[in-house]
């Protein structure tokens, strides 16, 4: 292992790294960890990564349980969270146009708010993906239980091994898997929307129930039993459905012609949200009474099964397995790059900054995969509750991550307005008010979790666990800061060589 660059000359390029990079004197601390990546992601792949990031198990599996709780009013939950997600993407889009970075929002947090915020942002994002990854492999195991009696933990372990191998190959391999997985998800949802629209318009008989708009108020109203807060109380789970759309910002560092590709991907997100999420939940609510759905099965599988097409239910089950694999794959991709950014600043274990000859941050990916193994353990100990435990805990990390992105956009716009930074070609509309609206909504998600502890104080235990994680980070920070202060290389590093 060689030493960390200290600003004296330009470190030699390792095999597999880009030969074209800024000179050492132009690199600043927030650039750490951005060198060495291969610009191999194409416009085709990035567009589908953006689409795939907006279509995951939060819709394919999570919508079932939330329909059973909130009924047709779940449409409002997805619409509201969709607006926040759109604001988030526009905020991230402006930051990406300001400066591309594979460290994404962690790098921006370092630039605008300093090391401490970047440290917390990076590790809270890890909390998000560590628990999200557990949710994804649990979802895969849950889906497979439709066909096999194999223990959930075995299926979860196999799924983890598959996505780990793909991520270690190259960014191009990741991008290609995401392209085809997203294409499959889109094809499935478009098929569902077309079929469901026809069935609703013709008021077809589905499993003894007549499809139609009347199901929006049957059996006990748009708001189940008149409970007008039901759609609010499920939002901590709905926000999880939109997680990973911020992956576009991380992918920007490895994207060809990002200045053209990223804005196009961001602009399209609102249409995807309206069409795929809100449209699908609306049609699900119209096809069957809400109390026909359940948390242990994808609502799409339930709907197709009720139509009498068991083979379509099996096909949809296969597709939602692909969706979960795709999301888990994205988690390894994203956290590997975030960890490398933290490692270069001395805020994560040094080995997580290791990049292999294929331009892949293998150290960070392997670290995340080892944490995902806890999901395998959770599926052994609590298979029936593993998914919800992971989803609710991930919501805390998502709120912190999205809040950081909004805060960074506000800080960037302040610098632009003060003439300290150049205006971007993709400004966020309505800023800073739209970013503040996003932050207020995210705080509201946490307040909902406090106000609605759930069965056996479930949410309170989740918040306590997340609070414990934050406390550990806070206790560790002075030691991390001391180490950084005693090592000038960590204050000026542009690269770590291994």
Question: pLDDT band for position 252 (50/70/90)?
Answer: low
Whether the upstream peptide bond of residue 83 has omega within 30° of 0, thus cis, is: no
Question: pLDDT band for position 32 (50/70/90)?
Answer: very low
Q: What confidence score (pLDDT) does residue 16 get?
A: 38
* Residue listed under structure tokens 């650039």: 31
Give per-residue burial for 264-292: e unless 16+ CB within 10 Å, then b. ebbeebbebbeebbbbbbbbbbbbbbbeb
318-359 pLDDT, tens digit per residue, is 887 887 787 787 778 778 887 887 888 888 888 888 888 877
Short-list 276, 211, 229, CA closest to 69: 229
What average pLDDT score do residues 83-102 get?
A: 86
Question: pLDDT band for position 23 (50/70/90)?
Answer: very low
- Which of 49-53, 215-219, 349-353, 462-466 has the weakest average pLDDT? 49-53
Q: Hey, how many other C-beta atoms are within 10 angstroms of the C-beta on 213?
A: 14
Say how far apart CA 264 and CA 44 lie, in whole Å. Answer: 11
371-409 pLDDT, tens digit per residue, is 888 777 877 777 777 777 777 788 888 899 999 999 999
- Which of 1-10, 40-49, 134-143, 265-274 has the weakest average pLDDT? 1-10
Question: pLDDT band for position 84 (50/70/90)?
Answer: very high
| Per-residue pLDDT at 159 exceeds 80 | yes
Q: What is the DSSP letter of 355?
A: -
> Which range in 15-29, 98-112, 358-372 is most confidently predicted, on average pLDDT?
358-372
Q: What confidence score (pLDDT) does residue 249 get?
A: 67
Could you give the angle at the alpha carbon of 153 between the alpha carbons of 150 and 157, nearest 5°? 105
Strand partners of residue 205? 210
> Which range in 11-20, 199-208, 356-365, 390-399 is most confidently predicted, on average pLDDT?
199-208
SS3 content of the chain, % helix, strand, coil (to 5): 70, 0, 25
Per cent of the chain over pLDDT 90 is 23
Per cent of the chain over pLDDT 70 is 83
> Which DSSP helix (H) or strand (E) runs through 206?
strand 205-206
265-301 pLDDT, tens digit per residue, is 777 777 777 788 899 999 999 999 999 998 777 888 8
Judged on CB neighbours under 10 Å (0-12, 13-18, 19+), 253 is buried
Strand partners of residue 206? 209
* Residue listed under structure tokens 């074209």: 20
Short-list 38, 33, 35, 1, CA closest to 16: 38
Q: What confidence score (pLDDT) does residue 253 get?
A: 61
Q: Whole-prediction pTM value? A: 0.79
Q: What is the DSSP letter of 278?
A: I
What average pLDDT score do residues 471-492 get?
A: 81
Q: Which two tokens stand for residue 382?
A: 């609590």
> Which range in 43-52, 61-70, 312-321 is most confidently predicted, on average pLDDT?
61-70
| Per-residue pLDDT at 97 exceeds 90 | no
Q: Which two tokens stand for residue 138?
A: 């649990």
- Which of 33-37, 129-133, 394-398 has the weakest average pLDDT? 33-37
């Amino acid at each position: 292992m060689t030493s960390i660059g200290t600003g004296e000359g330009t470190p030699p390029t390792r095999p597999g790294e880009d030969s074209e990079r800024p000179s050492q004197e132009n690199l600043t601390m927030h650039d750490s960890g951005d060198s060495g990546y291969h610009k191999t992601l194409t416009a085709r792949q990035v567009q589908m990564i953006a689409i795939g990031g907006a279509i995951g198990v939060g819709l394919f599996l999570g919508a079932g349980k939330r329909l059973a709780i909130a009924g047709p009013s779940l449409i409002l939950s997805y619409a509201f969270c969709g607006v926040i997600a759109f604001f988030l993407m526009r905020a991230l889009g402006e930051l990406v146009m300001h400066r591309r970075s594979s460290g994404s929002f962690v790098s921006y947090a370092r630039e605008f708010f300093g090391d401490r915020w970047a440290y917390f942002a990076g590790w809270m994002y890890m909390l998000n993906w560590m628990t999200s990854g557990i949710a994804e492999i649990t979802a895969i195991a849950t889906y497979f239980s439709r066909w096999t009696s194999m223990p959930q933990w075995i299926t979860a372990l196999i799924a983890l091994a598959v996505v780990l191998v793909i991520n270690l190959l190259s960014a191009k391999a990741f991008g290609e898997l995401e392209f085809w997985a997203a294409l499959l998800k889109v094809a499935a949802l478009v098929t569902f929307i077309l079929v469901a629209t026809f069935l609703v318009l013709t008021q077809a008989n589905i499993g003894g129930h007549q499809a139609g708009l009347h199901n929006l108020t049957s059996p006990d109203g748009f708001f189940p039993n008149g409970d007008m807060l039901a759609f609010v109380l499920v939002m901590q789970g709905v926000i999880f459905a939109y997680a990973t759309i911020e992956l576009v910002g991380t992918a920007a560092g490895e994207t060809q012609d990002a200045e053209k590709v990223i804005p196009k991907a961001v602009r399209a997100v609102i249409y995807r949200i309206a069409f795929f999420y809100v449209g699908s939940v609306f049609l699900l609510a119209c096809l069957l009474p809400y109390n026909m759905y359940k948390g242990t099965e994808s609502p799409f599988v339930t709907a197709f099964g009720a139509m009498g097409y068991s083979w379509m239910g099996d096909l949809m089950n296969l597709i939602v397995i692909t969706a979960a694999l795709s999301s888990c794959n994205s988690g390894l991709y994203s956290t590997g790059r975030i960890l490398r950014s933290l490692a270069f600043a001395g805020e994560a274990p040094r080995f997580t900054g290791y990049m292999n000859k294929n331009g892949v941050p293998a150290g960070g990916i392997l670290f995340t995969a080892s944490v995902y193994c806890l999901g395998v353990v959770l599926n052994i100990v609590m298979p029936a509750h593993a998914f919800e435990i992971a989803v609710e805990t991930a919501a805390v990390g998502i709120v912190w991550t999205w809040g950081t992105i909004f805060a960074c956009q506000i800080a960037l716009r302040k610098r632009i307005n003060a003439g300290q930074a150049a205006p971007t070609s993709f400004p966020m509309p309505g800023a800073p008010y739209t970013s503040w609206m996003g932050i207020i909504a995210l705080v509201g998600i946490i307040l909902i979790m406090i106000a609605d502890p759930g069965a056996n104080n479930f949410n309170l235990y989740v918040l306590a666990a997340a609070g414990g994680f934050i406390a550990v980070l806070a206790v560790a920070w002075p030691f991390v800061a001391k180490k950084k202060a005693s090592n000038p290389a960590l204050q000026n590093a542009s690269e770590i060589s291994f």
